[in-house]
Structure 1
């Protein structure tokens, strides 16, 4: 009796173990990890929407662009006006993207919006240009800016060697790529920390400027519009530099699939984040002009460092240290979001399929992020920051304008789509017209072959689309399969699956 009871109990225990084992080994859906929310810990969040926007926008731009922007407009008054106008334009653009992001809740930013409104050809051209030009060149510019500030203290009185700057930038790209490939949480915590660090230096500069203004340091603001330069080309190039500093206002749309409660968190993050950045940028530039004349600012090798030397000495070392934190934070946010664009393009069949694979251990689009980092390293070789900014802006505002135009088109062609956020139609009309002006003005006023090269490169995506997407040309499987198999084993990645509700 006791033996029979024991056997029965063992059988029950074995059945429970088998059930638990079966449950524990039940195949899990492989998809991107949903870890991004609006508020930081302890508010049960890992990657916050506001930190993504503020952390990505405030990076190298506010420490690199003031000099180039001032050089284009020539005086303090128009300089501050352009900074404020850029903030307004970024806010209007972000509102347009808020409607798009809550109407079409797919990761990839402009890519799915262009796909829905105009079809696969414009979407592919955007993907082609973004993957190979705008996104990696942006990453390269930010990391080159980081390298310049990080190496400057070790070469007092002279410029750091270009080899040192480029090697340091390459190291930064590799480290950030590895971090974002390993863990969404790790990249999120790093982003939150670096955002806090960069807000410290922003606060220091702003508070110092306010104190100096209160002490009567206002002489640099007298006749602030004297010697202004106004031309279609100069204003457009000034906007290019200012908007480079604001670039990132649309970054949250790249991770819509991973953003918890996007209908609430996406527009709320934008409404809070963009105006906050605008106010900070205007106040920072006012602070710069309290201690430097226009001529002195144009002659400065590093505007923020000159400000620190004059205001914070002997603690001026704080400025380059926190500028380094700021640029790294911007690069980290850019890498996180741009990797998702590569992932979506691979998933849609517009790039190699392996780029849409997901890490088994970390649930991150590791192949896409690594591909993005590798292309960015190639862009640090030429390393001409000012030229890269101008032509980056020319290309990116071409597609910003086209994407906002897509919003207008879908108001008439896709009326059935639910729009949790609906903005007045005048806003996308204004943004579209300004985008056209920004793209056309430099070509009309000061035509250069480089703009033509940029247009030709964008259009060169057409034969690639026809061959590999439209006609579905496939590489021989004898070549492709072994490469894909070895990459899967090396990176431990598998194809993404659809989520089971």
Structure 2
């Protein structure tokens, strides 16, 4: 549709409650729950403590999500952290967030999910051995292109994919939960047979707990994504909190039950030595049907990839709309009303970062960056609650909740650096701060606008896109 007053295009409000729940839960339930449990166990040392970590992460995400929900009903614009920091702290800090998100966090996250998807998809064809890396990367690239095409063609098509794959991944996880319940009913309690056994070998250092939280929170990633697309949510003041109240507690309970199933079926040693804990679980419980868990993990990763693309493209789109990226990225297709230039840009960057290889180590080092940005956003919410309580908001959370999440964010940022300082953290910091060198000449002083204007006109005609209006 077009805005009657300006003649510009608007993105459609296509996300109802079901779509909103599928976006949140569909992105949260990805490859993490099929792979991260063994890494959490490695860091914290005991099955009981790992369950505590999973529960704590669920509580942190619930509190953080509702804090973001209040922020989203005060500042009703898509873009998440970027637009909140922009409105509270100004353009320069916001550009740092946008630069890091668009060129590192989003594309590396998309590439990592695609690689996980490809590995699980190829597992049944390479039993007992590792699939060739070239094959894995080709499958991953194909999945990225497939998801990008779906999101570019039509919003409803992308949302339909999200709902369908959410159902598929829930079925897969319920198979694991039911398998665990049957095992418990048969009197096999595994590592959870007693409190002493469950907590034997616990590591309570700052670094082990911090890294365990990092691995676990990677599985919960996605709790914030609805804020990135809030302009496309129908009745956001109603559907935003409802979607969060349904999705996050559901995922938290499901994750705890799945981990209990893993722990009663496998020993800690088996979990730690497994490259894909869900597949190992399937081989032990389902026997010859163990390959089903590879399919379930691949479907889960595909749904998460689709949701990440849907919200990630909107970050790029909003950043350009605010003048922090080329104007072409803030345009929408004239017929489909999707932010196709932003989605194409996200696709290209994701394919480029797919080339080098395994991103697990790099993602670990950038996880603390993400929580640094979450902490800045939460401090902005505290500022608005204290200094501007008169601003209208559909949701109000007790001030203690964002304070506690802010403290958790500070711990997550500082814990691995203080307890186990590594030079990589310095490299990450330098990379993030280097965005200021781009902001000052090209954004603040607007150097070389002529070249970009000519390129924008050419791409606008080629892609059949037009400027959009944010006053929805």
TM bracket (short chain): over 0.9
Superposition map of 1:158-173 within 5 A? 158-173=129-144
Superposition map of 1:436-475 within 5 A? 436-475=410-449
2:17 aligned with 1:38: yes
Question: Please, which of 479, 492, 501 is the counterpart of residue 464 of structure 2?
Answer: 492
Contact 1:138–1:392 (CA under 8 A) maintained in structure 2: no
Contact 1:137–1:392 (CA under 8 A) maintained in structure 2: no
Superposition map of 1:227-238 within 5 A? 227-238=201-212
1:27/1:424 Cα in 2 relative to 1: closer, same or farther (>3 Å)? closer
Distance apart, 1:171 and its partner CA: 1.0
Q: Which moved more, 1:373-382 or 1:143-152?
A: 373-382
Question: What is the CA–CA distance in structure 1 between the aligned matches of 2:338 and 2:432, rounded to whole Å?
Answer: 29
Question: Please, which of 119, 132, 140 is the counterpart of residue 148 of structure 1?
Answer: 119
> TM-score scaled by structure 2?
0.96
Q: Could you tell me which residue of structure 1 aligns to residue 200 of structure 2?
A: 226
Question: Please, which of 275, 279, 301 is the counterpart of residue 301 of structure 1?
Answer: 275
1:432/1:447 Cα in 2 relative to 1: closer, same or farther (>3 Å)? same
Question: What is the CA–CA distance in structure 2 between the aligned matches of 1:219 and 1:376, rounded to whole Å?
Answer: 41
Q: Could you tell me which residue of structure 2 aligns to residue 183 of structure 1?
A: 154
1:39-61 per-residue CA deviation (whole Å, 9 max, x = no partner) reads 3xxxxxxxx11111110100111
Q: Residue 289 of structure 2 aligns to a residue in which SS?
A: coil
Superposition map of 1:208-287 within 5 A? 208-221=179-192, 222=194, 223-287=197-261
Distance apart, 1:497 and its partner CA: 3.2
Contact 2:28–2:220 (CA under 8 A) maintained in structure 1: yes
Contact 2:8–2:466 (CA under 8 A) maintained in structure 1: no
Q: Could you tell me which residue of structure 2 aligns to residue 93 of structure 1?
A: 64
Across the aligned residues of Structure 1 and Structure 2, the Cα RMSD in angstroms comes to 1.6
Distance apart, 1:482 and its partner CA: 3.7
Distance apart, 1:27 and its partner CA: 9.9
2:175 aligned with 1:204: yes
Contact 1:37–1:260 (CA under 8 A) maintained in structure 2: yes
1:124-159 per-residue CA deviation (whole Å, 9 max, x = no partner) reads 111111011111111111111101101111111111
Q: Could you tell me which residue of structure 1 aligns to residue 109 of structure 2?
A: 138
1:385/1:65 Cα in 2 relative to 1: closer, same or farther (>3 Å)? farther
Distance apart, 1:486 and its partner CA: 2.7
Contact 2:35–2:275 (CA under 8 A) maintained in structure 1: no
Distance apart, 1:483 and its partner CA: 2.2
Question: What is the CA–CA distance in structure 1 between the aligned matches of 2:471 and 2:377, rounded to whole Å?
Answer: 28
Q: Which moved more, 1:109-118 or 1:384-393?
A: 384-393
Distance apart, 1:388 and its partner CA: 3.0
Distance apart, 1:400 and its partner CA: 0.7
Q: Residue 201 of structure 1 aligns to a residue in which SS?
A: helix
Distance apart, 1:86 and its partner CA: 0.5
Q: Residue 460 of structure 1 aligns to a residue in which SS?
A: helix
1:462/1:481 Cα in 2 relative to 1: closer, same or farther (>3 Å)? closer
Q: Residue 420 of structure 1 aligns to a residue in which SS?
A: coil
Q: Could you tell me which residue of structure 1 aligns to residue 88 of structure 2?
A: 117
Q: Residue 335 of structure 1 aligns to a residue in which SS?
A: helix
Question: Please, which of 388, 397, 411 is the counterpart of residue 423 of structure 1?
Answer: 397
1:260/1:392 Cα in 2 relative to 1: closer, same or farther (>3 Å)? same
Q: Residue 466 of structure 2 aligns to a residue in which SS?
A: strand
1:367-403 per-residue CA deviation (whole Å, 9 max, x = no partner) reads 0011111111122223324313312311111101111
Q: Residue 494 of structure 1 aligns to a residue in which SS?
A: strand
Q: Could you tell me which residue of structure 2 aligns to residue 349 of structure 1?
A: 323
Q: Which moved more, 1:440-449 or 1:489-498?
A: 489-498
Distance apart, 1:257 and its partner CA: 0.5
2:44 aligned with 1:65: no
1:188-239 per-residue CA deviation (whole Å, 9 max, x = no partner) reads 1111110110010011111110111111111321311111122111111100
Question: What is the CA–CA distance in structure 2 between the aligned matches of 1:37 and 1:383, rounded to whole Å?
Answer: 38
Q: Could you tell me which residue of structure 1 aligns to residue 74 of structure 2?
A: 103
Contact 1:67–1:297 (CA under 8 A) maintained in structure 2: yes
Distance apart, 1:499 and its partner CA: 5.3
Question: What is the CA–CA distance in structure 2 between the aligned matches of 1:497 and 1:409, rounded to whole Å?
Answer: 28
Find the structure with the greater CA-based Rg.
1
Q: Could you tell me which residue of structure 2 aligns to residue 12 of structure 1?
A: none
Matched residue count: 466
Q: Residue 358 of structure 1 aligns to a residue in which SS?
A: strand
